[in-house]
Chain A
């Protein structure tokens, strides 16, 4: 299947600092990427949809000024957690849609390995 990478895999930062997380599609072009947040032993919560060349679409309740998303190219989307606080500590996962004809259903989302953010 398609490969999505995420960097860093783990980050610890001080309260008040900003953290950038990168999501890359390695072997396909992804016009749309998604950012999820997952609390321990919980399901994935969609935060925003990242569209290449346009503004991200945020889900209700997600602060767009706190979670900045930039989809600068067809293979890269970044999530920046600005002025991070301990309550932002979580597991952040990105995914990318592979629109190629070979992908099952053409709507399958392939996920990155996730980034575990700890804010002290």
Chain B
């Protein structure tokens, strides 16, 4: 069975500091994709960053980077220079080649403190 785990239900970070949101996964598949989405209070899901299981380099998108450790099956999201607008729910998700579905973690609520 495939499983995505986010162990931090809530996180706080000072504005302009960096923060790491944890995500671990469990799969026997070799080919898969890892995604992070941001969900502000408005409800929309905003795509942030993608990492393929065969990608050798960690993905980066602006202030977002993904710390991918395949052997440890972890795909942590790092947000640098936090801004007040970063306060939101963050979901880690995984897509397996064997199906179309995305499997989502339980989410982490991030609050940026001024």
Write the residues of chain A forming the contact surface with B, with a CB cutoff of 8 angstroms. Answer: 1, 32, 34, 42-44, 46, 49, 91, 93, 95, 97, 104-105, 107-114, 116
Contact = CB atoms under 8 A, between A and B. Distances in A.
Given A34-B100, A43-B105, A91 B33 contact: no
Contact of A34 (B35, B43, B102, B107): B102
- The 4 tightest CB contacts between A and B, nearest first, are A111-B45, A104-B50, A114-B43, A113-B44
A74 B105 CA distance: 29
B44 A112 contact: yes
B95 to A, nearest CB: 5
A109 B48 CA distance: 11
B91 A43 contact: yes
Interface majority SS on A: helix, strand, loop or mixed?
Answer: strand
Interface string B61-105: 000000000000000000000000000000100010000111011
Interface of B: 33, 35, 37, 42-47, 50, 52, 91, 95, 100-102, 104-107
A46 B102 contact: yes
A42 B42 CA distance: 15
A95 B46 CA distance: 11
A111 to B, nearest CB: 4
Given A104-B50, A105-B52, A107-B95, A46 B101 contact: yes
B45 A93 contact: yes
B23 to A, nearest CB: 12
Nearest to B96: A107
B13 to A, nearest CB: 20
A43 B35 CA distance: 14
Contacts of A97: 100
Given A46-B101, A93-B45, A111 B33 contact: no
Given A44-B91, A105-B33, A108-B35, A93 B105 contact: no
B52 A32 contact: no
A67 B114 CA distance: 44
B47 A108 contact: yes
